[in-house]
């Protein structure tokens, strides 16, 4: 399933303006405003300079848990045994795809490429052997998920910059490879690069409940569930060229996993919530992150209206 990103941007603009939501674009939350262990708001920085926004509740949806971590909430990064994390991907858009290219054909072009070029040579340039060509609604356009940038952490500015340059280098190499399978793809060309590189994994903020690998395997249901995850575990291996995927019966994300330890008036939503390495590899996708954000907002409003902390509110739901 794919969608037109331009149309999606316009649609989301209509939603937020129609609902009267206050939005600040080109703005980054930089630091928490703390009073003891209570979060009172967040410092922002944008073209207007630095501003302080006070709030009864802060929901960290940065993906990296920036505000939560800087407020003192504990977190983990990577696999439990060695801390190694999933690689980044510089997805890119191509045009000129053959009009008769099969919509569900993700990788026959790659198999043809291997027949015409030594696989070791390909992997030396782009270290991932399970790429995907995802056709888009507009005729002749597709997204390519192929590049892999390993051992660069998305919470480190220098590493993130280096990863971006490396990802773009791999894109250029991919375009050269496409020429060898012109009969499969057509005369494709680079149409667009992403505004930011795709970061799969950084901090997982430790919360009142940590979603375990056993929870995933056993399809555990939670009394305070905010959504149920059905997307399979999808691990882009940190040190190998392969991808590890396995299915599960579906598992719940509890509200408690959105409530960090050691900091009050704070919630998280998205891939930075409290879970294991394997669980994160299933719930980090867009659909689940959207549902977490909606649930966090609803819970925050309910707790504030009830005059309770989010921790007390969550305990009552149990």
- Residue 222's pLDDT is what? 97
- Residue 318's pLDDT is what? 82
- Residue 1's pLDDT is what? 67
65 lies in a domain?
Answer: yes
> Do residues 144 and 243 both lie within one domain?
no
Domain edge (last residue) among 147, 172, 192? 192
Q: Are 75 and 202 in contact (CB under 8 A)?
A: no
- Residue 70's pLDDT is what? 98
Q: State how far the Cα of 34 lies from the Cα of 11, in Å rounded to an integer.
A: 36
The parent domain of residue 45 ranges over 5-82+204-317
DSSP-derived 3-state class of residue 264: strand
Q: Are 188 and 258 in contact (CB under 8 A)?
A: no
pTM, to two decimals: 0.95
Instruction: In the chain, count H helices and then E strands.
Output: 10, 15
- Residue 206's pLDDT is what? 98
> Do residues 179 and 210 both lie within one domain?
no
- Residue 266's pLDDT is what? 98
199 lies in a domain?
Answer: no
Query: What's the DSSP call for residue 97?
Result: -
The CATH number that applies at residue 21 is 3.50.50
Q: Are 227 and 250 in contact (CB under 8 A)?
A: no
> Do residues 170 and 309 both lie within one domain?
no
**Tally of domains in the chain:** 2
| Beta strand extents in the chain (DSSP E only) | 28-35, 38-46, 49-54, 58-60, 75-77, 92-95, 132-135, 142-145, 189-192, 203-205, 225-229, 233-236, 243-246, 251-254, 266-268
29-34: long-range pairs with CB below 8 Å, 24+: 29/62, 29/66, 29/67, 31/67, 31/70, 32/58, 32/67, 32/70, 32/71, 34/71, 34/72
Residue-wise pLDDT tens for the chain (318 aa)? 688 889 999 999 999 999 999 999 999 999 999 999 999 999 999 999 999 999 999 999 999 999 999 999 999 999 999 999 999 999 999 999 999 999 999 999 999 999 999 999 999 999 999 999 999 999 999 999 999 999 999 999 999 999 999 999 999 999 999 999 999 999 999 999 999 999 999 999 999 999 999 999 999 999 999 999 999 999 999 999 999 999 999 999 999 999 999 999 999 999 999 999 999 999 999 999 999 999 999 999 999 999 999 999 999 988
288 lies in a domain?
Answer: yes
197 lies in a domain?
Answer: no
Cβ count within 10 A of residue 262: 12
End-to-end CA distance of the chain: 36
- Residue 169's pLDDT is what? 98
163 lies in a domain?
Answer: yes
> Do residues 109 and 185 both lie within one domain?
yes
87 lies in a domain?
Answer: no
> Do residues 175 and 218 both lie within one domain?
no
153 lies in a domain?
Answer: yes
């Amino acid at each position: 399933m794919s969608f037109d990103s331009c149309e999606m941007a316009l649609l989301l603009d209509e939603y937020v303006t129609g609902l009267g939501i206050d939005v600040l674009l080109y703005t980054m939350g930089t630091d928490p405003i703390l009073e003891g262990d209570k979060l009172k708001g967040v410092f922002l920085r944008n073209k207007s300079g630095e501003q302080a926004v006070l709030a009864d509740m802060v929901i960290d949806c940065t993906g990296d848990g920036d505000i939560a971590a800087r407020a003192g909430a504990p977190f983990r990064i990577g696999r439990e045994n060695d801390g190694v994390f999933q690689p980044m991907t510089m997805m890119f858009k191509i045009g000129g795809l053959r009009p008769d290219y099969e919509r569900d054909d993700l990788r026959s072009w790659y198999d043809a490429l291997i027949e015409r070029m030594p696989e070791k040579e390909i992997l030396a340039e782009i270290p991932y052997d399970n790429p995907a060509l995802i056709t888009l609604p507009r005729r002749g356009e597709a997204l390519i998920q192929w590049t892999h940038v390993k051992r660069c952490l998305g919470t480190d500015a220098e590493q993130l910059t280096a990863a971006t340059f490396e990802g773009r280098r791999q894109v250029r190499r991919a375009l050269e490879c496409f020429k060898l399978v012109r009969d499969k793809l057509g005369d494709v060309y680079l149409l667009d690069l992403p505004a930011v590189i795709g970061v799969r994994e950084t901090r997982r903020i430790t919360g009142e409940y940590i979603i375990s690998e056993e929870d995933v395997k056993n399809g555990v249901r939670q009394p305070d569930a905010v959504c149920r995850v059905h997307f399979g575990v999808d691990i882009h291996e940190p040190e190998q060229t392969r991808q590890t995927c396995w299915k599960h019966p579906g598992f719940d994300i509890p509200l408690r996993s959105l409530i960090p330890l050691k900091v009050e008036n704070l919630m998280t939503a998205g891939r930075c919530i409290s879970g294991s390495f394997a669980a994160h590899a299933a719930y980090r996708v867009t659909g689940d992150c959207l549902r977490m954000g909606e649930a966090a907002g609803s819970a925050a409003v309910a707790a504030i209206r009830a005059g309770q902390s989010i921790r007390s509110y969550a305990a009552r739901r149990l």
